[in-house]
Amino acid sequence: MNDTKPWRVGIVGAGRIVRTGHLPAYAQGRVPVRAICSQTRTTATHLAQQFRTEFPGLRVHDSVRELAADPDVELIDIATRPGGRLDLIRELLPYGKPLLVQKPIAYSLDEANTIAREAADAGVQIAVNQNLRWAPAHRRLLSWIRAGELGNLAHLAHVHHFNEDIDTWFTRHPGYLFLDHGLHYLDLARQIAGTEPVAVSARAGCFPRQAAQCPLSYSIMLAFDSPLVASLTLHNQTRAPQAWSSSWYVNGDKADATATYATATLHTASGSVTHAPSGEWVPDGVLGAYTAFTAALDDATLPEHDLADHLRTLALASAALVSANDQGAWKDVPPTYVKSGR
């Protein structure tokens, strides 16, 4: 494939994240979306009509197999709910097309490992849409860290305030805060650290009369085979949108850095510099995940968000959930499937 030519996409799923995230991202990046399918044709048809200006001729298919067999689809974007992913991906593997999958790839680490094993056997490349890595301010933070601007890291912390105290399909899953929402922040913490956590301790809390059926607050500590200290806290029941916030604090032996959704600041002995890059987590992060994946496909290399990497984030989140259910007892991060020769 010509590396200057974008990969043509078929989307499986037509829910909120596709409407508000994936299709706006692809429209912004002029990515050719050729086909879409959903559990109900009516839903997919309505969405195709809504985006008919951005994607004229967008075809609606009746099944994932029909979409995968479409010769005009080169890459399949899976944006369905995590439940049932193993069966869905099994349907797609025989077509041999690369898959970009919404996170988490599964709620169960065992199921995720099975997907990885079967995809490897089928020779199908999978990347997972850990799009927070490509939120513009967070990407700037990562670029400083990866360039060594902060030196050896000693401390990182994330503090997040939001509100998802609602009764809906995702808040009915008891592990949602760790395995889905909080997965973004655990994933970014891994990228910031540049080394893998070996153990985790977590506490989680529910509140009287909350509508959600999962915990709405957590505190997580990560342990490394190094002096690095890391913590993450999330409170998901704020009373007003004005209270929503997300802040990262990273300290090294050469510099310190902070980041929010909008800005990234580097503090050195000679002064401070703040960047406010254009763009937002959504849609820019979603477009970034696609762009990084297709660039790796063009170069025949592994993308940074390939399935093996995602498994390590999911293993960390799974161990945190087990710890929270055991009153904060320290838990080792479990091993994950690794393709032979990787």
Written as one letter, the residue type at 47 is L
Q: What distance in Å separates the CA atoms of residue 220 and residue 202, rounded to the nearest whole number?
A: 4
CATH fold label, 9-130: Rossmann fold (3.40.50)
pLDDT in tens, 60-97: 999 999 999 999 999 999 999 999 999 999 999 999 99
Amino acid at 80: T
Residues of CATH 3.30.360.10 domain(s) within the chain? 133-283+315-332
Q: Give residue 338's pLDDT.
A: 85
Rounded to the nearest 5°, which phi and psi values hold at 72? -90, -5
Return d(Cα 97, Cα 126) in angstroms, integer: 9
Nearest CA-CA partner of 218 in 169, 183, 173 = 183
Close Cβ partners of 74 (under 8 Å, ≥ 6 residues apart): 1, 7, 8, 9, 97, 98
Residue ranges of the chain assigned to CATH 3.40.50.720: 9-130
Q: What is the fold, at CATH topology level, of the domain defined by 133-283+315-332?
A: Dihydrodipicolinate Reductase; domain 2 (3.30.360)
**Angle in degrees, CA 148, 133, 329, rounded to 5:** 90
Report the predicted TM-score, pTM, of the whole model to 2 decimal places. Answer: 0.96
- The parts of the chain modelled with pLDDT lower than 50 are 1-2
DSSP β-ladder status, 217-223 and 199-205: antiparallel
Q: Tokens standing for 40?
A: 């109900």
